[in-house]
């Protein structure tokens, strides 16, 4: 069975995890900062903070910005619910933006429309999603957020290894050259995995320090940053109490373990192979699906053909084929091809629908109606792509 996505774990990854398991630290040891340093080197961001998962990364960002009830944020409706949940955990109201019906990406036009529905005095941030690994028009969106005086957050949980144009050059998604924060996920089906895990990148050292506190309950252990001398220092001598720590803000236990960090760093070192493999598979899909363009078309941002895709999404007019999506998925599975749907529009989820009654986002609805995630992961071969394409032709009735 070809799954729509899966981890690619080799013996060297396993060896790295075992090495840590046999060492002195399973958590809060040296592996996490090593992973963070490697991630900074890969993305070009000055600061990287590892955490428990991509949802934790988004929540930490919202807390670092001090989002609170009464604030508003804009989020595209096509994403995993975590993109909306992260800022909403802090009480912020989510204004859902529409997306391009073909790519699922929030466009500058859609952002302008969402901004028009927002209260300008309460709008604090825009969360963009590089869906499937294709990046949004970051320069145009950054210009709009700068003009509005609001923060720009990139949800890049799908987009490790992708790039974007900036000025006359190219930036790496995650370098935060145009944004305030960027969030990543290392779930098993993502581009690299640490089992579960996440990362936040940013350029502001003060925000990096806040993020470091927020992922560890808000506890400060640096004696030079203590605020209460009676906790941190011995009365009379002024000597440092080595056990001391201060709760300086309310945080969460969002730490990444050392053995997860070791796996993540081992996986990150393979991006020079994983990235080209994913690109080659996507190129094969494009070639082999071209004769079936009347049946299925790739949901790709044609302005970003060099992207490292996390998901290979096909757009299918199920009604025109006389079959439901459920029927197509079941028949593909019988032929050994696993598929998935990414995503149900968040504004349609019962929780958010109650908060946004009557909201109509036609682009999100159209994208959702036709999207189907096809198998894509580094261990696949071109022959596997042939299998998927043949199955699609059979099931869709070519």
Q: What 3-state class would DSSP assign to 240?
A: strand
Burial of 66 (0-12, 13-18, 19+ CB in 10 A): exposed
Strand (E) or helix (H) holding 336: none
Are 282 and 309 within 8 A, CB to CB? Answer: yes
Q: Which long-range contacts (CB under 8 A, 24 or more apart) does 89-94 make?
A: 89/59, 89/62, 90/59, 90/62, 90/63, 91/67, 92/62, 92/67, 92/68, 92/124, 92/125, 93/122, 93/355, 94/346, 94/352, 94/355
Q: Strand 151-155 vs strand 123-129: parallel, antiparallel, or unpaired?
A: parallel
Residue 23 CB partners (closer than 8 Å, separation 6+): 29, 258
Q: What 3-state class would DSSP assign to 135?
A: coil
Positions marked active-site: 190
Interior CA angle at 373 toward 181 and 171, to 5°? 30
d(CA 384, CA 367): 26
Burial of 189 (0-12, 13-18, 19+ CB in 10 A): middle
Are 8 and 377 within 8 A, CB to CB? Answer: yes
């Amino acid at each position: 069975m070809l799954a729509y996505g899966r981890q690619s774990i080799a013996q060297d990854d396993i060896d790295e995890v075992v090495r840590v398991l046999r060492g002195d630290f399973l958590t809060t040891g040296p592996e996490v900062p090593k992973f963070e340093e490697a991630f900074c080197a890969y993305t070009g961001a000055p600061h990287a903070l590892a955490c428990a998962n991509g949802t934790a990364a988004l929540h930490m960002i919202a807390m670092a910005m001090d989002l609170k009830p009464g604030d508003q944020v804009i989020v595209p409706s096509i994403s995993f619910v975590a993109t909306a949940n992260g800022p909403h955990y802090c009480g912020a109201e989510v204004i859902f933006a529409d997306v391009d019906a073909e790519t699922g990406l929030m466009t500058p036009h859609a952002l302008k429309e969402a901004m028009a529905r927002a209260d300008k005095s309460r709008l604090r941030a825009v969360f963009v999603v590089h869906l499937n690994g294709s990046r949004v028009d970051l320069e145009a969106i950054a210009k709009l957020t700068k003009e509005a005086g609001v923060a720009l957050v990139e949800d890049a949980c799908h987009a490790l290894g992708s790039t974007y144009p900036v000025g006359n050059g190219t930036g790496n998604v995650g370098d935060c050259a145009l944004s305030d924060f960027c969030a990543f996920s290392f779930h098993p089906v993502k581009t690299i995995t640490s089992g579960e895990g996440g990362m936040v990148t940013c350029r502001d050292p003060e925000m990096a320090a806040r993020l470091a506190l927020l992922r560890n309950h808000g506890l400060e252990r640096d004696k030079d940053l203590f605020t209460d001398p009676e906790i941190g220092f011995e009365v009379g001598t002024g000597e440092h109490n080595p056990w001391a720590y201060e709760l300086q803000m309310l945080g969460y236990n969002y730490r990444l373990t050392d053995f997860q960090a070791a796996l993540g760093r081992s996986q990150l070192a393979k991006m020079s192979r994983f990235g080209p493999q994913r690109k080659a598979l996507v190129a094969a899909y494009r070639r082999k699906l071209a004769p079936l363009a009347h049946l299925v078309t790739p949901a790709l941002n044609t302005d970003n053909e060099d992207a490292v895709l996390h998901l290979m999404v096909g757009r299918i007019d199920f009604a025109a084929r006389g079959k439901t999506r459920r029927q197509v998925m079941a028949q593909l599975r019988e032929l050994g091809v696993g598929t998935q749907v990414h995503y149900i529009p968040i504004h349609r989820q019962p929780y958010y629908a109650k908060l946004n009654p009557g909201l109509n986002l036609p682009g999100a609805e159209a994208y959702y109606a036709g999207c189907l995630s096809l198998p894509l992961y580094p261990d696949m071969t071109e022959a596997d792509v042939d299998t998927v394409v043949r199955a699609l032709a059979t099931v869709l009735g070519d």
